[in-house]
Amino acid sequence: MAKLQEAQVLLDYLYNLLDSNASLDIDLIQYKARVLLALPDTLKFYQDIFAFDRLEDSPIGIFQSYIEAYYRQGWPPSLSLLVAYFVVSGGIQKYNANHVKALCTAAILAEIPSSLPYHNNDHFKNVFVSATFLSKIHQLHEGVVFKTDNLALLFITAFIHDFEHTGVGNTVDGVYVPYYLEKKSYLAAAPYFLSLTSDELEVIYAFLMATDVSPRKSGMSAAFQVRQIFREGALKETKVSFAMDDELMIFSKDIELCFLAIVLQEADILPSAAFSYDSLSTFSQKLKEETDRDFTSPKAKLFFIDHILGKGFVAPATAKLFNDKIKNIRDVIIEQQNS
């Protein structure tokens, strides 16, 4: 009951935020009624599926149960409540008040209804919870200490990274335009974050750009550029000469931000593609419905594993927990392709 009361205090703060922010076009009375109705179920979901104090014992087991519950019974009713529980349960310690305001605002934006089969409100929830999981696992099992302020900006970005997704991708009139949807999402969401500084918005912008996984006819995708920076800066692998996009330059100057951009990339893909062949198939079917393009054939699935995911994750804890699963999924696809 204590957590319930603490979360309600945070939500009262959120109500005041909404009252004072006319730019958020939301029926506040309906929103408050929906949130109050969702309190018990969302608290139960958080306690049953995503309790941080259990991550040290069985990280992959806890996260696996969360994914299975998601596919079986759907998401908790309120995303903003999930954020409230996350904040008061110690997911982030010593939260900056301005970041709490921006994080709650981002959660509200992520609950604006979307009819897309895949890039919808469930996806925003998926990426947020996956990002919190991966950041926590790296702290517990790899000894990585992320700055609280940087984590807050990461989680804000998780909510809005596909805010303006159209279901088509970064193609305009048949021509690939790098960062098209990412920039659209940033421009649509940034004006709501009145509590953030220009430097903090610059970090959110860069995080968003790092989620562009679209392969290019020449040169590395944005996602692969960030991976390469991380390999060279954090993993001390051999340097590779490549032309880095201006939008990503911040990551070559701050390896922690680069690390967190990798966490966001992997959170974006992890629940859909890294658990089982069945989860990948479900993801592929939803993308096919959304885009009317082939994502379900063995050839398309193999392309995704090899050229979008890059055959595996690069963040240390994510790689240790999931790369064997990805290899097994790839083997199944190759068997199907050869049969």
CATH number of the domain at 118, please. 1.10.1300
Domain assignment present for 291: no
Is 258 within 8 Å of 154 (Cβ atoms)? Answer: no
Is 7 within 8 Å of 43 (Cβ atoms)? Answer: yes
Which two three-digit tokens encode residue 222?
């944005």
Angstrom CA distances, 181 to 80, 171, 278, stand at 24, 9, 28
Coil, helix or strand for 176?
Answer: strand
* Rounded-to-integer distance, Cα 213 and Cα 270, Å: 14
* Rounded-to-integer distance, Cα 239 and Cα 223, Å: 17
* Rounded-to-integer distance, Cα 154 and Cα 208, Å: 9
Q: Pick the residue with more confidence: 112 or 316?
A: 316
Domain assignment present for 109: yes
State residue 97's pLDDT score: 78
C-alpha 51 chain-centroid distance: 18
Q: Pick the residue with more confidence: 3 or 217?
A: 217
Q: Percentage of residues in the chain with pLDDT exceeding 90?
A: 45
Partnered with residue 12 across adjacent β-strands are none
Q: Pick the residue with more confidence: 227 or 93?
A: 227
Full domain range(s) for residue 23: 2-268
- State the chain's mean pLDDT as an integer: 84
Q: Indicate the pLDDT class of residue 272, thresholds 50, 70 and 90.
A: confident
Q: Which of 190, 168, 171 is nearest to 180 (CA)?
A: 171
| 71-99: average pLDDT | 69
Domain assignment present for 284: no
* Rounded-to-integer distance, Cα 93 and Cα 252, Å: 27
Domain assignment present for 316: no
Chain length of the chain: 339
pLDDT digit string, tens, across residues 213-267: 998 888 899 999 999 999 998 888 888 888 899 999 999 999 999 999 999 999 9
Residue 284 has pLDDT above 90, yes or no: yes
Which two three-digit tokens encode residue 323?
């790369």
Q: Indicate the pLDDT class of residue 1, thresholds 50, 70 and 90.
A: very low
Q: Percentage of residues in the chain with pLDDT exceeding 70?
A: 80
Q: Check residue 237 and report its DSSP letter.
A: P
Domain assignment present for 47: yes
Domain assignment present for 102: yes
State residue 162's pLDDT score: 95
State residue 8's pLDDT score: 63
pLDDT digit string, tens, across residues 13-60: 666 666 665 556 666 667 667 777 777 777 777 766 666 556 666 677
User: What is the domain count for the chain?
Assistant: 1
Is 180 within 8 Å of 172 (Cβ atoms)? Answer: yes
Domain assignment present for 57: yes
Residue 294 has pLDDT above 50, yes or no: yes
Q: Which of 1-10, 69-78, 123-132 has the highest mean pLDDT?
A: 123-132
| 181-209: average pLDDT | 95
Residue 75 has pLDDT above 70, yes or no: no
Which two three-digit tokens encode residue 145?
């200490």
187 phi-psi bin (left φ>0, alpha ψ -120 to 50, beta other):
alpha
Domain assignment present for 157: yes
State residue 19's pLDDT score: 61
* Rounded-to-integer distance, Cα 295 and Cα 115, Å: 19
* Rounded-to-integer distance, Cα 339 and Cα 328, Å: 17
Q: Pick the residue with more confidence: 41 or 181?
A: 181
State residue 67's pLDDT score: 67
Which two three-digit tokens encode residue 157?
């970005």
